Amino acid sequence: MSQQSEDGKVLADIIKNVHRRLRQELKESGDSESSWINHCRNEARLKEYAKSMHQLATEHWERLRESNPDTSRINWTWSFLSNYFLGNGCEIQRKKSKLNIDWPKLMFKDSKISVLDVGSCYNPFKEFEELDVLPVDLCPALESVYQCDFLTVPVGEKTFLEDQSVLSLASSSFHCVVFSFLLEYFPSCSQRWTCCEKAQQLLMEEGVLVIITPDSKAAHSNSKVMRSWREALAAIGLNRIKYEKLLHAHCMAFRKTSIDPPTSEDRQLLASKMYIPQDFHSQSDSEQEENDHIKYTEEELVEGFTYLPMLND
């Protein structure tokens, strides 16, 4: 195994162990809020995670993106956004709705698409001049990314930024919210649901939520999970308008439309639909030790996507 692949395995273990610890801490406490607070206070762990993710993205995923652009989550997102907002994608969705109404004109500041990139790490969308990106992360890898705990940040009338931190985010102010490799980070359904509800509040009418989640299996292998997410998000007016299975990820886009909010009872049921298979895993000590010594093939380490907590991990 090459030195680069050896380095990749070290990064892989760091990332997977953080996710594993989060799930274990939630299981032990039974309280998603307290386990998340404790996680956010562990500055050393957060910084190590951010550094590892940054290295993987810039040293491994970019190599794959250059050699095989069709596998790139960044390329996929940009292609969708450019078609939807700058092409005829939005108009096509309006016609599909068959609503006999006068649709308002989409408004752009300085002719740019406003994007909130949650869990941005290093702001990978900065290369696209047509995008006005606000990159946020719990623990940014670069100073150009704003610190923000998306689970707890308030939604208000204006977006307030101070000293590279986000104090609040303005409702109905973004054309797009991006959750790229974000939702599987959280150890509970309720936290994933909170993120999606908040995204719905932040999007302007006809805005889109882009969700990308890692999975190297065939598209049908986790179809029940994807269908469950689709049903939950449709209940808050986020209708899926595009789905594509890339080699290592599910890529989805959800369009915001007006809808009556669900009741509190319905919200609890809907939150439970935002599950991932790991939520039901129970590892013994021996299984834990075995997983901590996963062997990666040379090809897998070059591709880099085994580093993430897949839906089948």
3-state secondary structure of 146: strand
Q: Locate the domains of the chain by residue range.
A: 3-281
In this prediction, residues 173-191 reach a mean pLDDT of 95
Which range among 28-32, 61-65, 254-258, 264-268 shows the weakest confidence by mean pLDDT? 61-65
Residue 264, pLDDT score: 84
Is 31 annotated as ligand-binding? no
* CB 156, CB 170: distance < 8 Å: yes
pLDDT the model gives residue 295: 44
- Asked if the model's pLDDT at residue 302 lies above 90, the reply is no
Q: Residue 298's pLDDT band (boundaries 50, 70, 90)?
A: very low
pLDDT band at 2 (very low <50, low <70, confident <90, very high): low
Q: How many CB atoms are closer than 10 A to CB 68?
A: 12
In the chain, which ranges are continuous DSSP H helix?
3-29, 32-41, 43-56, 62-67, 73-81, 89-97, 189-202, 223-234, 264-272, 285-291, 298-303
**Interval 210-257: pLDDT, tens:** 999 988 777 777 889 999 999 999 999 999 999 999 888 899 999 999
- Evaluate if residue 37 carries a pLDDT over 90: yes
Contact 187, 32 (CB under 8 A): yes
Amino acid occupying residue 61? W
CATH number assigned to the domain covering 3-281: 3.40.50.150
Is the pLDDT at 101 greater than 90, yes or no? Answer: no
Whole-number percent of the chain with pLDDT over 90: 63
Encode pLDDT of 120-175 as tens digits.
999 999 999 999 999 999 999 999 999 999 999 999 999 999 999 999 999 999 99
Mean pLDDT score of the chain:
86
Q: What is the mean pLDDT of residues 194-211?
A: 97
- Structure confidence at residue 283 (pLDDT): 53
Separation CA 202–CA 127 (nearest Å): 23
Structure confidence at residue 35 (pLDDT): 92
Q: If you average pLDDT over residues 295-303, what whole number do you get?
A: 42
| pLDDT value of position 279 | 85
Percent of the chain topping pLDDT 70: 87
Q: Give CA–CA dist 59/13, Å, rounded.
A: 16
Is 119 flagged in the annotation as binding? Answer: yes
Spatial neighbors of 120 by CB under 8 A, at least 6 apart, are 133, 135, 136, 137, 140, 145, 178
